[in-house]
């Protein structure tokens, strides 16, 4: 599928989900800022995709949403349209939808995925939308987290390298 067709509005995505379910697919959802895409992101999304029977939807925090998460005044570094296009270009990602709230709770309520995925660093924490997914018989899965691989760490490394110059 063409990258631009993977980036959907909620209304269009709901129609796509209906079609995918009729085709026997399982709908999986994850979310994040995905600012400065790195190996940790790619590894996580490939594990989240798991197989061809799973449709992976990525809820992408909008620029305003990222700013509300206290990531720092300079974040996001990459604007939402560009972050969405890069995510949509990955083979593991079937659809990308941008949301404006601090958490994807309302989006999850609208999309009703079968599986909600988070990094293993979220185990034992309240996962936004987990209650919605479980209430309809779905489940929350945790994907292996690769320590030290984060956008914040990448930014800090760049700052240190620039400071040496």
Q: What is the pLDDT of residue 59?
A: 98
Beta carbons within 10 angstroms of residue 117's beta carbon: 26
Q: What is the pLDDT of residue 40?
A: 86
Q: What is the pLDDT of residue 151?
A: 66
Per the structure, how many domains does the chain have?
1
Which pTM does this prediction carry? 0.90
| pLDDT higher than threshold 80 for residue 63 | yes
Rounded to the nearest integer, the mean pLDDT of the chain is: 89
Q: What is the pLDDT of residue 18?
A: 97
* Distance, CA of 145 to CA of 161 (rounded, Å): 26
Q: What is the pLDDT of residue 69?
A: 80
Query: Do residues 96 and 60 lie in contact, with contact meaning Cβ atoms separated by under 8 Å?
Result: yes
- Enclosing domain of residue 74: 3-164
Query: Do residues 27 and 115 lie in contact, with contact meaning Cβ atoms separated by under 8 Å?
Result: yes
| pLDDT higher than threshold 90 for residue 20 | yes
CATH number at residue 115: 3.40.50.620
Query: Do residues 133 and 158 lie in contact, with contact meaning Cβ atoms separated by under 8 Å?
Result: no
């Amino acid at each position: 599928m063409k990258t631009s067709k993977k980036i959907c509005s909620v209304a269009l995505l709901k129609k796509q989900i209906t079609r995918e379910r009729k085709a026997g697919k399982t709908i999986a959802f994850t979310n994040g800022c995905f600012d400065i895409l790195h190996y940790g992101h790619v590894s996580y999304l490939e594990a989240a995709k798991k197989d061809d029977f799973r449709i992976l939807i990525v809820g992408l925090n909008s620029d305003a949403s990222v700013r509300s998460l206290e990531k720092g005044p300079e974040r996001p570094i990459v604007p939402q349209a560009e972050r969405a296009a890069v995510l949509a270009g990955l083979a593991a990602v079937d659809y990308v939808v941008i949301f404006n709230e601090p958490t994807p709770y309302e989006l999850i309520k609208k999309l009703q995925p079968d599986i909600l995925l988070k990094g293993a660093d979220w185990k034992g924490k309240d996962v936004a939308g987990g209650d919605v997914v479980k209430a309809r018989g779905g489940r929350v899965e945790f994907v292996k987290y690769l320590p030290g691989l984060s956008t914040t760490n990448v930014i800090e490394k760049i700052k240190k390298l620039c400071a040496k110059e």
